Amino acid sequence: MTALAALIRRDIRIALRVGGGALIGVLFFLTVTVLMPFALGPDLALLTRLGPSILWLGALLASLLTLDRLFTSDHEDGSLDLIVMGRMPLELACAAKALAHWLAAGLPLILATPVLGLMLNLDATATSAVALTLLVGTPALTFIGMIGAALAVTLHRGGLLLAVLVLPLSIPVLIFGVAASQAAISGPLPFGTPFSILCAISLVSFVIGPFAAAASLRHGLD
Amino acid sequence: MTLIDLANPTKFLSLTGRILPWLAGATAILLMIGFYQAAMAPDDYQQGATVKIMFIHVPNAWLSMFVWGVMSLAALGTLVWRHPLADVAAKAAAPIGAAFTFLALVTGSLWGRPMWGTYWQWDARLTSVLILFLMYLGLIALWRAVDDPSRAARAAAILTLVGALNLPIIKFSVDWWNTLHQPASVLRMGGSTLDRAFLIPLLVMAVGFSLLFVTLHLAAMRNEILRRRVRSLQIMQASQQAA
């Protein structure tokens, strides 16, 4: 248990320090959201209507952007080999790394949501709905994306390949995240239905992600 | 003759070398019968002659999912049993599956033009087949990203299995998304029970296209085995020259 906590603490510390790059995700999220009015026009009514979708898309791309860091830096300095050979089950270690990555890179996105919601003219209900769905949905993005990150690190190819592999798998999260936000704002559906399916998808990804990532690391590293 | 015996590529090559001409012949005969029956099938009272696109569209759509199933079995073979031919089978199946999926999309879109008045409709089935196509392309990109075949095989096997687990979830979410966003006016094919005049040619075509897949798959596996032999010979030659 202490080893697990130590791994999480270490990963968060590295991510937040100079060269960690966890906060680049938030900056990207902010920039994408600022770009949207330039593409769509400064019509506040339109931005209000599209706001939840814009925020969800921005958060999806931002969490994809930082995923590359999940295993590559550890692979480069050799600590990934130590983790693979260590006594802690690799599945557990992968889950811990993903959790740490989400705390360092995913949570700031949710904290930034209220500010970005103001810029998109969302009211308090809409902003809190988006923030709540992001809080439940972004862990799923991290845990699904971890599979792609693990594959990419074993292949020594990151970046673009990771995006191509992970984006189709994250479609369900996007669908139910946006649907739940829209349901809370305008209805007609009850908020609970898509929201509980979103929770279910997150729970499923907590199971699939660590096992697939661990299998990929175990088979792929040499 | 069990699966283990086929682990020897030479045995596999000689066996498939004997089987392939018969398979190809059976495929050609079945497809010819199927095309003839499809051409002779009566026009639909609503859709007219365009209903005949179905005889090509539906088998392709079936195979697009079936091939992912074949690749998942092969992926299990790679990861669990380390069967030497499993990754050859998985690699050979991916482009064929992508081709079937692409044909299903194209024929569906050509069918949609006279029926729905548009080439593309964000219909639930079309959308999930499009996502399946994207996943095939991602898998092929993964195969092509690495030059070491066995390393690529294990990564591709994991992605194939994750995809197999996720495809039902994606299908379900797209269905849900579609019923939420689309008005209920979208025309749905099938629905009513299919008449015998359509059903029999359709079944013949489905069996014919499945045989076509088996034939192409075995041929592609043979090519892949030979390609790997050429590769290792070239590496041997290069290292001899270097020495």
Do the domain assignments include residue B230?
A: yes
| B41 vs A64: which has the higher pLDDT | A64
Is B161 within 8 Å of A204 when comparing Cβ atoms? Answer: no
Domain count, chain B: 1
Domain annotation covers residue B2: no
If one compares A153 and B102, the residue with the highest pLDDT of the two is: B102
How much is the pLDDT for B180? 66
Q: Does residue A36 have a pLDDT over 50? A: yes
CA distance A18 to chain B (A): 31
The per-residue pLDDT for range B101-118, each reduced to its tens digit, is 999 988 888 887 777 777
Q: Closest residue of A to B181, CA-based?
A: A179
Decide if pLDDT at B228 tops 60.
yes
Q: Which of A207-211, B42-46, B224-228 has the lowest mean pLDDT?
A: B42-46
pLDDT at site B174: 81
- Tell me what the mean pLDDT of segment A159-184 comes to: 86
H-helix or E-strand spanning residue B73: helix B54-76
> Collapsing DSSP states into helix, strand and coil, what is residue B143?
helix
Separation of alpha carbons B81 and B89, rounded Å: 14
A187/B contact by beta carbon, under 8 A: no
Residue contact B79–A216, C-beta within 8 A: no
d(CA A108, CA B150): 39
Average pLDDT over residues B203-211: 89
Considering only CA atoms, which of B124, B105, B141, B156 is closest in space to residue A220? B156
User: Is the pLDDT confidence value at B155 over 60?
Assistant: yes
Residue A97 Cα, gap to closest chain B Cα (Å): 19
Asked if the Cβ–Cβ distance from A201 to B169 is below 8 Å, we say yes
Cβ–Cβ of A171/B155 closer than 8 Å?
no
| Residue whose entry in the numeric block shows the structure tokens 């931002």 | A62
Does B17 reside within a domain? no
Q: Which amino acid is at B238?
A: A
* pLDDT cut 70: percent of chain B above it: 88
**Closest-CA distance of chain A to residue B192, Å:** 30
* pLDDT for position B193: 56
For the segment A20-34, the average pLDDT, to the nearest whole number, is: 85
From the CA of A216, how many Å to the nearest CA of chain B?
6
Side-chain half-sphere CA neighbours of A40 within 13 A: 18
Residue B183's pLDDT band (cuts 50, 70, 90): very low
pLDDT at B182: 53
Judge whether A54 is closer than 8 Å to chain B, CB to CB: no
Closest partner residue to A171 among B138, B159, B173, by Cβ?
B173
Q: What is the pLDDT of residues B68-97, one digit of tens each?
A: 999 999 999 888 888 888 888 899 999 999
| Residues paired with residue B44 on neighbouring β-strands, in sequence order | B48
- Lookup: tokens for B179: 């019923």
In a domain, B66, yes or no: yes
| Chain A stretch 104-163, residues whose beta carbon is closer than 8 A to a beta carbon of chain B | 147, 151, 154-155, 157, 161
Residue A149 confidence (pLDDT) above 50 = yes
Q: Looking at the predicted structure, is the pLDDT value of residue B181 above 80? A: no
CA distance B151 to chain A (A): 6
Q: What is the pLDDT of chain A when averaged over all its residues?
A: 86
Identify whether B96 is part of a domain.
yes
> How confident is residue B13, by pLDDT bands cut at 50, 70 and 90?
confident
- Which of A155, A168, A212 shows the shortest C-beta gap to B135? A168
Domain extent for B192: 22-242
Strand partners, B233: none
How much is the pLDDT for A44?
84
Cα torsion angle, B146, B149, B150, B152, sign = positive
pLDDT greater than 50 at residue B192: no
Residues 6+ apart with CB under 8 A from B90: B71, B74, B75, B78, B153, B156, B157, B160
Max Cα-Cα span within chain B: 75
Answer yes or no: is pLDDT of B186 > 50: no
Check CB contact of B159 with chain A, cutoff 8 Å. Answer: yes
CB A194 within 8 A of CB A176: yes
The CATH number linked to B74 is: 1.20.120
Position A212 scores a pLDDT of 92
Give A69-120 pLDDT, tens digit per residue. 888 888 888 888 888 888 888 888 999 999 999 998 889 899 999 988 888 8
**Position A146 confidence tier, pLDDT thresholds 50, 70, 90:** very high
Of A165, A171, A212, the CB nearest to B142: A165
8 Å CB contact of B173 and A169: no
SS (H, E, C) A17-47: CCCCCCCHHHHHHHHHHHHHHHHHCCCHHHH
Reported as a pLDDT band with limits 50, 70 and 90, residue B3 is low
Q: Which amino acid is at B212?
A: L
Is B13 touching A (CB cutoff 8 A)? no
The larger pLDDT score, comparing residue B134 to residue A190, is at B134
**Residue B2, pLDDT score:** 61
